[in-house]
Amino acid sequence: MSGKRPSALNALVVLLMVAGLLIWWVNTLTNEDPLWFVRSFSAQADWITLYWDGQMVTTFPGDPEYATVMETFASAAERWTGYEGSVGMSDESLALFRAEGRFLELHYNEPALIHTRHLFPEARVFFVPLSGTHATYRRLFSGLADVPRIGVLNLSEEGFAALYDAVEQAATHAGNPD
């Protein structure tokens, strides 16, 4: 009986396919996201709260400020550059940002997911400090409630700068001080 013998190339292809599936499966389980390898974010916030030097502005879909901030945030979230698993924000820092800092919150009625290979689960609120130490590192926090979780994504310099400019313009346009 004559049959084809498997070639080394076929064996290598099968091995690479199995390894690729194993890597995908492990990351899917740990991240709870089968699309962890796709850099995309399209969820639209139900409302956005801007804090700018002691002033608070809330904007909703249809408001002029909403579209620009939402588009810029989505673009920045897709271009994260790293993950810090042990970074958190204290209640005191959160209160200080809201009272006198520059800070962005995006609120969702249903949890939204930023696709990433890191353990950055679904969130109902995304928090972006636009001043202070966290802003220096361009950190994006998430949470299921009104409190950020431990673990942050670092946004790209370009994405963070564009987001800062969009929030500044929205806050200024809404009648807040520079």
Delimit the domains of the chain by residue range.
47-173
Beta strands 139-143; 80-84: pairing state: unpaired
pLDDT tens-digit readout, 121-152: 889 999 999 999 999 999 999 998 888 999 99
pLDDT of residue 38: 67
Asked if the model's pLDDT at residue 160 lies above 60, the reply is yes
pLDDT of residue 178: 41
Name the band, by pLDDT with cuts 50, 70 and 90, for residue 1.
low
d(CA 108, CA 44): 8
d(CA 133, CA 146): 21
pLDDT tens-digit readout, 58-101: 999 999 899 999 999 999 999 899 999 889 999 999 999 999 99
Q: What is the DSSP string of 102-113?
A: EEEEEEEEEEE-
d(CA 156, CA 77): 9
Residue 73 near residue 106, CB atoms below 8 Å: yes
pLDDT of residue 177: 41
pLDDT of residue 23: 76
d(CA 145, CA 158): 28
pLDDT tens-digit readout, 98-121: 999 999 999 999 999 888 877 788
Q: What is the pTM of this model?
A: 0.81
